[in-house]
């Protein structure tokens, strides 16, 4: 008789399948399908904080240092980040919602010729060569017009990110897409949705709908009109169940109630401080259903209004997110300020030991 899926099954399934056994960097990125980027470093960037739990002997900055040798690309998927090159190819050639005017295309063609002649360029080289001036950015401040043009060319697939220097993207001409012929739009869209589902499963119905919309709108805006049909196909083919008054979906071929996810003592006993965008905590709808409290990313919240801190890292222990910690490096030393949903730390010697072990791992990751 099939196991009746419970919320506890779904919770353990979400943790076990996402926090898989650490492996090589390329294999981990392929397994995840996509790693979200964030520029804030507190105490490290989100992509590094995400990968440290999933890559063998990973240190902060390894992704940036090793990127040119990996079969991966920076690009916009559900949001901005890094993904395997074969997945990125499915999103291109990309047609944007807003077409550039002829004058903008003339600038882009001139810059493309410049990049092709140089091989790899820093944005300041483009700015020096073309003097595009400044323009308003998304946050209301001023940015170099060249930077925005390069961003737009990258999004359209005219350029790729060759590497980074100090966090700044250096651009190169696009790679030839590895296709003999264009894929069917519905086939590609379904495959991209499967990548997103595999990363964030199990998904509440409301999150699945949003995810399909985001993939169709951001990753492949040329196919955004197909999103309703894509959602219908996705709901029809994915395994699903109603649990706790919510309808849930997960990848084909997996079963949250299987013994594979029932007992994982290593996972339960190791305390982990997770990035705000870690797959385990990324979906705030699912987070509240799993752990009964609301986690909010407060880096852009005015300091007096913050509840948990500037860059609170959710604290996972024994299958539960029991609190958070803010981490900072001062005078070469790691400072942790933990907080707990219950208002106090667990009265358990095993917890104190687990928290100290995570501190040591975090210090090693940061190179302290």
Name which residue leads in pLDDT, 35 or 130.
35
Q: Report the pLDDT value the prediction gives residue 138, as an integer from 0 to 100.
A: 44
Give start and end residues of each alpha helix (H) in 46-101. 46-51, 62-66, 85-89
In a domain? residue 57: yes
Q: Please check whether residues 127 and 238 belong to one and the same domain.
A: no
User: Which residues does 81 contact at the CB level (< 8 Å), separation at least 6?
Assistant: 34, 35, 36, 37, 47, 74, 75
Count of CB atoms within 10 A of residue 164's CB?
A: 16
The pLDDT value given to residue 132: 56
Task: Identify which has the larger pLDDT, 130 or 283.
Answer: 283
Q: Is the C-alpha dihedral spanning 338, 342, 345, 346 positive or negative?
A: negative
Q: CA–CA separation, 194 vs 334, rounded Å?
A: 39
Cβ atoms of residues 277 and 36 within 8 Å? yes
For residues 25 and 55, the answer to whether their CB atoms sit within 8 Å is yes
- Domain of 274 in residue numbering reads as 260-366
Contact 155, 76 (CB under 8 A): yes
pLDDT digits (tens, 9 = 90+) for 30-82: 999 999 999 999 999 999 999 999 999 999 999 999 999 999 999 999 999 99
User: Of 16, 137, 21, 29, nearest to 77 (Cα)?
Assistant: 29
Give me the mean pLDDT over the 223-237 stretch. Answer: 96
pLDDT above 90 covers a percentage of the chain that reads: 83
Q: Is the pLDDT of residue 263 over 80?
A: no
Burial class from Cβ neighbours inside 10 Å (0-12, 13-18, 19+) for residue 99 reads exposed
Residue with tokens 């950015």: 137
If you average pLDDT over residues 106-114, what whole number do you get? 94
Residues 265 and 360 in one domain: yes
Which token pair is 192? 């991209």
* 144 — pLDDT class (breaks 50, 70, 90): confident
Q: Is the pLDDT of residue 355 over 80?
A: yes
**pLDDT given for residue 97 in this prediction:** 83
Query: Per-residue pLDDT for 222 more than 50?
Result: yes
Confidence of residue 260 (pLDDT cuts 50, 70, 90): confident
Question: Which pLDDT does position 252 carry in this prediction?
Answer: 96
* Domain end call among 200, 216, 249: 249
Asked whether residue 74 is assigned to any structural domain, the reply reads yes
CA angle, residues 324, 328, 330, in degrees to nearest 5: 155
Q: What is the mean pLDDT of the chain?
A: 91
pLDDT at 105 > cutoff 60 = yes
pLDDT at 358: 97
Residues 56 and 17 in one domain: yes
Q: Is 282 helix (H, G, I), strand (E, B) or coil?
A: coil
pLDDT at residue 235, as a whole number: 98
Q: Which of 343, 351, 342 is nearest to 292 (CA)?
A: 342
Query: Do 324 and 245 have their domain in common?
Result: no
Q: Please check whether residue 2 lies inside any domain of the structure.
A: no
Among 225, 249, 273, identify where a domain stops. Answer: 249
Residues 79 and 111 in one domain: no
Give the per-residue pLDDT at 89.
93
Could you tell me the pTM of the whole model?
0.92
Is residue 66 within 8 Å of 25, Cβ to Cβ? yes
Contact, 47 vs 276, CB < 8 A? no
Condensed to tens digits (0 to 9), the pLDDT of residues 308-327 reads: 999 999 999 999 999 999 99
- Asked if the model's pLDDT at residue 350 lies above 80, the reply is yes
* Amino acid 264: pLDDT: 57
List 315's β-bridge partners, or say none: 273, 323
Q: How many domains does the chain have?
A: 3
Summarize the confidence of residues 335-358 as an average pLDDT: 94
Task: Grade residue 139 by pLDDT with cuts at 50, 70 and 90.
Answer: very low
- Cα 311 to chain centroid distance, Å, stands at 16
| pLDDT confidence band for 295 (50 / 70 / 90) | very high
Instruction: Establish if 254 belongs to a structural domain.
Output: no
SS3 state at 353: helix
3-state helix, strand, coil in the chain (%, to 5): 45, 20, 40
CATH assignment of the domain containing 165: 1.10.10
Beta bridge partners of 339: 324
State the Cα–Cα distance between residues 247 and 206, nearest whole angstrom: 9
Bridge partners (DSSP) of residue 161 are 171
For residue 215, tell me if it sits in a domain: yes
**Before 344, cis peptide (omega within 30)?**
no
Residue 175 pLDDT grade (very low, low, confident, very high; cuts 50, 70, 90): confident
């Amino acid at each position: 008789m099939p196991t009746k899926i419970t919320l506890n099954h779904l919770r353990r399934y979400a943790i076990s399948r996402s926090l898989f056994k650490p492996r090589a960097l390329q294999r981990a990125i392929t397994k995840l399908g996509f790693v979200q980027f964030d520029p804030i470093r507190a105490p490290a960037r989100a992509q590094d904080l995400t990968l440290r739990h999933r890559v063998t002997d990973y240190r902060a900055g390894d992704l940036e240092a090793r990127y040119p040798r990996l079969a991966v690309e920076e690009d916009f998927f559900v949001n901005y980040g890094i993904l395997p090159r074969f997945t990125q190819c499915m999103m291109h050639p990309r047609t944007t919602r807003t077409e550039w005017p002829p004058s903008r295309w003339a600038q882009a063609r001139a810059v493309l010729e410049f990049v092709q002649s140089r091989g790899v360029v820093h944005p300041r080289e483009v700015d020096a060569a073309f003097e595009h001036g400044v323009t308003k950015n998304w946050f209301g401040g001023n940015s170099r017009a060249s930077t925005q043009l390069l961003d737009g060319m990258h999004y359209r697939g005219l350029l790729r990110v060759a590497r980074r220097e100090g966090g700044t993207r250096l651009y190169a001409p696009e790679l030839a897409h590895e296709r003999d012929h264009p894929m069917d739009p519905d086939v590609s869209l379904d495959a991209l949705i499967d990548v997103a589902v595999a990363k964030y499963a199990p998904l509440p119905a409301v999150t699945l709908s949003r995810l399909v919309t985001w993939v169709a709108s951001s990753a492949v805006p040329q196919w955004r009109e197909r999103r309703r049909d894509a959602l219908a196909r996705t709901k029809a083919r994915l395994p699903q169940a109603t649990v706790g008054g919510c309808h849930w979906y997960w990848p084909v071929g997996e079963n949250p109630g299987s013994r594979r996810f029932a007992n994982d003592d290593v996972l339960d006993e190791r305390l982990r401080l997770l990035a705000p965008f870690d797959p385990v905590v990324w979906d705030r709808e699912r987070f509240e259903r799993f752990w009964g409290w609301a986690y909010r990313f407060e880096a852009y919240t005015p300091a007096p209004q913050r509840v948990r801190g500037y860059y609170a890292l959710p604290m996972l222990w024994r299958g539960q997110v029991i609190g958070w910690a803010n981490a900072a490096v001062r005078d070469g030393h790691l400072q942790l300020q933990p907080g707990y949903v219950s208002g106090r730390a667990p009265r358990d010697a095993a917890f104190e030991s687990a928290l100290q072990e995570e501190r040591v791992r975090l210090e090693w990751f940061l190179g302290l």
